[in-house]
Amino acid sequence: MIIFKKFYPPNLLLALTCFIVTGCSFDAKELYLSDSYVEAFSSGWGKAKADSSVTGTPLMIDSVLYLKGIGTHAISEASFILDGQKGRFKAFVGVDDNAQSDSASSIIFYVLTNKGVAFNSDVMKKGDKPKPIDIELKGVTELFLLVESTSDGIGYDHADWADAKFIVRKAPEIKLAEVEEPYILTPPPAAKPRINGAKIVGASAGKPFMFNIATTGECPLTFTAENLPEGLMLDVAKGLITGVASRKGNYLVPVTAKNSRGECRDTIEIVIGGGLALTPHMGWNSWYCHQTRVTQDIMQRSAKAMYDKGLINFGYTYVNIDDGWEVKANSDDSLLGGAVRNADGTLRTNKNFPDMRGMVDYIHNLGLKAGLYSSPGRTTCAGYEGSLGHEDQDVKTYCEWGFDFLKYDWCSYSNEVKHPVSLEDLKKPYILINSIIKRADRDIVLNLCQYGMGEVWKWGKEVGGHSWRTAGDIGWITPELINSMFTAGFFQETIRQYSGPDGWNDPDYLLFGSIWNWQEGRDTQSPMSPSEQYTCMTLWCMMAAPLIFSGELISLDDFTLNILCNAEVIDINQDKLGKPGYGVHKQDFTEIWKKELHDGTSAIAIFNKSPIKSTVTVDWKAIGYSGKEEVRDIWRQQDLGTATNAAEFEIPRHGCMLLKVK
């Protein structure tokens, strides 16, 4: 018997194997992400890395070692364009074993295509077994790989896309982020007066008081105020209330603003002896646009811009110097170096600030308040003189200069304590500075800048803070600003119970307009898209966070003004109830938040966290409404009718809607 054996060439055998195993056509090829597509990934707090985790070691998930793959840090995203032909995407995903925390590292992996959500890992933590991904690519023209953080923040969120590869005929292309042109939603202010901003303000008895009745409308305006506490007076042309009130109490002060187009009536509640920060702070800080290049001239021109461009009319109040005004010991720069203190220990400014008292007077004369920066350590973050051992003298100097706000940055104080740092050590410098400020002859709002250590939101108010940073600087890796903004912002919901009148969770500054690019050493426009900037402002307002802008004020453009100066949006932030918002619906990339307001209405924010435009349908009954309520679009300042008739919204990539429901 003659037996005939079929013979297949080696390349054909390989093709058949590929077809049987993967379902691909015979000329499919394997393309590992780590070989060709590392640059496709945006990654929060640092770049994605091929064949290594964020810590620089090989990828390992639950003790399984992977030779190929990409490690990122939540939040991260990669986008691809495919040809829609048959193929597969395969990977294993999980939290890398080198994440330093078992409890804090938790993330969700998604694969999203033009067809919808193709994979959702659910929450994964360190130690969980890797989860396989195997997705058929027939008909897929867009594919997105996403890592989302969960409610515990982004600490140790080391996400591995292990053995991740495309098995396709044609290599996918990296989908570049579309350039979104700025679009202005905020209508211009009406000619008729409108009183904006905070409707409740606090001060200590027996200390200087200043409050500007923030008002838009055609000038000139005239103001009236009734029932002012004894010792306070109103400048009827400026709408500025000043003086010293000696008697504690809550005073309801009816105010009016009038011009040739009409008048606006409202009530300001003045609280003497009951807290200094009864609504979140609003203002500007020099750091993210000027850093240590800041000067007295820049500060005064910025204050003038806040006045001239009308931010003061929406409630923006503080003009704050950040690091760089002190003397820097051992500096070779003749403007910065020299003796850090006088012979009696009094703090000195560097030569960029020749007349600190004159600068503060200039700011106050505009109806604004002035803030500055220091550290409880020997030096500030940038190496300038700190306050250690001179706290009493420094607060006395701040008061003599006339400052109203102090950002107190942990920085080099880390060198003064044992490690690991105890909760007692974390509290100590803030307890000290607060006790001194309370004895001072003027009110100073205290911001604790210590990056969220020791869950500061649980004790920040206890040690005298009026606000406290809940995480690190969101803008220190400028290209990844959107990731850190999303992370810092949405994390606030989990700690909302610790935030309220006279003590606010602070996720960092609003980085719109022109900011300093740390990586490239140059000024640049905010890397956030227009929609992402709307989302940031909306999120900060919903969480009742301080609205401290840190982009360039002097050259402020119309789009950035539109983001910063929407009176109805600011009303949500400055609502006197002071209650942060919270999620009422979450599904994949859609979050709906609710924020109760003092007048019985509520704000509803709809966030589209996906990388593509989405249509979101709101089930009003599922989130507690009958459907008969009146709905208003706050950004556009337009009434939309009843909730039933205003239920479907098309929202851009990373965009939002902000509604008021009554």
Active site residues: 409, 473
Distances (CA, A) of 145 to 74, 453, 567: 12, 31, 38
**Backbone dihedral angles phi then psi of residue 234, each to the nearest 5 degrees:** -110, 130
Token pair 């000139």 is at which residue? 220
What's the rounded Cα separation, in Å, for the pair 80 and 69? Answer: 17
Whether the CB-CB separation of 133 and 145 falls below 8 Å is answered with no
The strand pair at 282-285 and 547-549 is best described as parallel
What's the rounded Cα separation, in Å, for the pair 291 and 475? Answer: 12
**What letter represents residue 201's amino acid?**
V
**Backbone dihedral angles phi then psi of residue 22, each to the nearest 5 degrees:** -110, -15
Beta strand extents in 296-368 (DSSP E only): 318-320
Token pair 């850190």 is at which residue? 484
Residue 318, both tokens: 């503080």
Question: What is the DSSP code (8-state) at residue 591?
Answer: E
What's the rounded Cα separation, in Å, for the pair 603 and 579? Answer: 11
End-to-end CA distance of the chain: 91
Residue 265, both tokens: 């009536």
Please classify residue 344 by burial: count the beta carbons closer than 10 Å to its beta carbon, then call 0-12 exposed, 13-18 middle and 19+ buried: exposed
What's the rounded Cα separation, in Å, for the pair 629 and 606? Answer: 17
Distances (CA, A) of 462 to 428, 430, 452: 12, 10, 15
Please classify residue 56 by burial: count the beta carbons closer than 10 Å to its beta carbon, then call 0-12 exposed, 13-18 middle and 19+ buried: exposed
Strand partners, 143: 80, 113
Whether the CB-CB separation of 133 and 91 falls below 8 Å is answered with yes
Residue 328, both tokens: 């820097």
Helix, strand, coil in percent for the chain, rounding step 5: 20, 35, 45
Whether the CB-CB separation of 495 and 459 falls below 8 Å is answered with no
What's the rounded Cα separation, in Å, for the pair 60 and 97? Answer: 6
Residue 629, both tokens: 């309520």
Whether the CB-CB separation of 462 and 435 falls below 8 Å is answered with no
Residue 375, both tokens: 């550290």
